[in-house]
Structure 1
């Protein structure tokens, strides 16, 4: 039986490391991450845009644009979106909430419930995922990490089985045309 792969993608992380407006073709990334293995599913984690109360015209436009993006992702075969919450901090910046926990729970749940040992690939940077990676590995899962050298925690890098740097060549190979 072919190994099956679950791909965990954090759009917040991608947005921070992919600059200059490059648009990613997530199916191309999945094909790259899966190699010749069967893709079980791609779990795509993000937050809906923040909207003030009442929403401004800019808020409404940003929300409508995101809804179009969300719909295009959800139309991809085997994609499942998971949403955290976007929280506005006192300095006016925004922070994702619940995304890390959703991703970790999903990874462990799939690892423990699997009899054919899927290989997991993900984008992520936090050491918070080390226990989830270790639980997946204890269940016999091969864990892979696609990361940027600009944003990675050494503990997470050491915990995974396979590591792939998201560099300019990789980005060029998966960018949307």
Structure 2
């Protein structure tokens, strides 16, 4: 029997949502669509909290609180696990805006993909991500006999790196309309 795990890069999903007007997507429906023929082992969602200054403003506090509620709600979904990285401050750009960098998120995703593959816990991996940094982990998983299926959303600027697409066994582009059909009318609000 095919067993799969889903590896979702929350930063990549945030970029998709920004390009689509911040819809509230039902992640359970999305996972059902991406794992049609597999017995689901687990869904891993990787992201980090928004940046806060040392003396956070009410707006910063509200944004962090909202994201914490979202992470808590996602972790309560069946088979979902939230893996939280850190957002590191790297200075300011020429316009005085903070330069921020996600830390640990990509490494956690890659480590989980490799661990599940080398322990033969899965036969298939569903990847919802876009970063070419995942290619070494994808190659290890494939060498262990795991089929890698990359999902992305068409019609948005956030698209997977071409080298990541080539490294995966399959790439399915969900039409923007199909992705938006997973929009929730109530319940968990994606950030």
> Same fold judged by TM-score > 0.5?
yes
Corresponding residue number in structure 2 for 1:95: 101
Structure 2 runs not aligned, ≥5 long: 186-191
After superposition, residues 1-177 of structure 1 pair within 5 angstroms as 2-18=1-17, 19-90=20-91, 91=93, 92-114=98-120, 117-148=122-153, 150=157, 151-177=159-185
- Equivalent residues of 2:128, 2:151 under 8 A apart: yes
Describe the superposition over 1:4-36 as per-residue Cα deviations: whole angstroms up to 9, x where unpaired.
110001111011122302111111111011103
Structure 2-normalised TM-score? 0.86
Provide the rounded CA distance (Å) in 2 between the counterparts of 1:36 and 1:155: 26
Describe the superposition over 1:115-136 as per-residue Cα deviations: whole angstroms up to 9, x where unpaired.
5x43111111122111111100
Matched length: 175
Offset of residue 112 of structure 1:
0.3
Provide the rounded CA distance (Å) in 2 between the counterparts of 1:10 and 1:152: 11
Structure 1-normalised TM-score? 0.92
Provide the rounded CA distance (Å) in 1 between the counterparts of 2:5 and 2:68: 24
